[in-house]
Structure 1
């Protein structure tokens, strides 16, 4: 049975996140949910199902940028594994530095997550206007990271299956 996509309405979550976080930065802590959900799905062996069925950011970009997008194709270099790896490492580094500077302070952590999510959201909107609406989804560090998790899990399972065949 094919899983139902929630992409037509999941954009409400990202809008709610930003509205709540602007009203009170403590809601920025919900950024961990936004980053944790795709990892959860990947660790459960579902690969990038979050990207195609649940992602609030992708839902927002696809729904609201259709009419304003220039619909250009992203340059090939931006879609390369090297570019995706660089972006993933950059984003992880920025988040890590931000968390270190927060020094365990809940308010600072929440604000850092809000700022981190906001910056990537703005970049995603700019990319969606210049290129196709969901261009961010092509380079999204969470999507790329979950793809790497899936690849690693598949490789581990293949090795385990091969070992079991030899043992049998």
Structure 2
């Protein structure tokens, strides 16, 4: 099965194409109207609410950045394996603390000015996109999603919510790992007590569920 022929959950591709439109709206439109940056705050509130019910579903279906990487950047990415240390808790916490610390510093300089605050949120998105493109060109297109601070936050908020379950039907073919946008291998958790993939390592994109030749994966 080639990556160009895999099945996707109905409507996911269309939704992602639409979501990519938010990138030029915020980045270009925000240059002229910095208050547009508050759109990002609205997205944060929405995904924090959604995470309590469906984990990182926002990442897998609705994130404008993730949609751009998956639909555009993947066409020119070298698709190298994501470094294993990117998945370590320590590295994820470091990235989260660094990004939040930098944002807090910039917000302190805004002195309460709404336009300046909106500009800070826009700038943080630009920084994230730049880092994501750099990583995605060499590694898998959505490598940034492995360490994204907002993705990590969603994972932490949904430790036992709507997680991917691996049944005894799993034969270790690794089709799931190849089609996972962030190269997670559910088979690694087959022998775990819960037989469920950690929330932070699953975007709930359904690629693995739709394409598992044994039907060994499902969400519970």
Which TM-score tier does this pair reach, normalised by the shorter chain? 0.7 to 0.9
Q: Does 1:127 align with 2:135?
A: yes
Greater shift after overlay, 4-13 or 112-121?
4-13
Q: Does 1:34 align with 2:32?
A: no
Residue 103 of structure 1 corresponds to 111
Structure 1, residues 96-142: CA drift from partner, whole Å, max 9, x if none? 22222212111110111111111011111111111111111111111
Residue 166 of structure 1 corresponds to none
Structure 1, residues 38-57: CA drift from partner, whole Å, max 9, x if none? 212123x2211101121111
User: For residues 29-68 of structure 1, what are the structure 2 equivalents within 5 Å?
Assistant: 29-43=38-52, 45-68=53-76
Tell me if structure 1 keeps the 8 A contact 2:55–2:161: no
Residue 18 of structure 2 corresponds to 9
Q: CA deviation at 1:86?
A: 1.0
Structure 1, residues 65-109: CA drift from partner, whole Å, max 9, x if none? 122211111211122121111111112212222222212111110
User: For residues 76-155 of structure 1, what are the structure 2 equivalents within 5 Å?
Assistant: 76-151=84-159
Residue 163 of structure 1 corresponds to none
The counterpart of 2:34, out of the listed 7, 25, 31, is 25
Structure 1, residues 20-39: CA drift from partner, whole Å, max 9, x if none? 11232221222212333221
Residue 166 of structure 2 corresponds to none
Partner Cα separation in structure 1 for residue 161 and residue 103 of structure 2: 25
> What TM-score do you get using the length of structure 2 for normalisation?
0.63
Q: Which runs of 5+ in 2 are unaligned?
A: 1-8, 163-220
Q: Which runs of 5+ in 1 are unaligned?
A: 155-168
Structure number with higher helix proportion: 1
Q: CA deviation at 1:143?
A: 0.9
Tell me if structure 2 keeps the 8 A contact 1:69–1:133: yes
Partner Cα separation in structure 2 for residue 34 and residue 107 of structure 1: 18
Greater shift after overlay, 25-34 or 136-145?
25-34
Question: Hey, which bits of structure 1, 4+ residues long, moved more than 6 A?
Answer: none
Inter-CA distance 30–77: structure 2 relative to 1 (3 Å threshold) = same
**Length, aligned pairs only:** 152
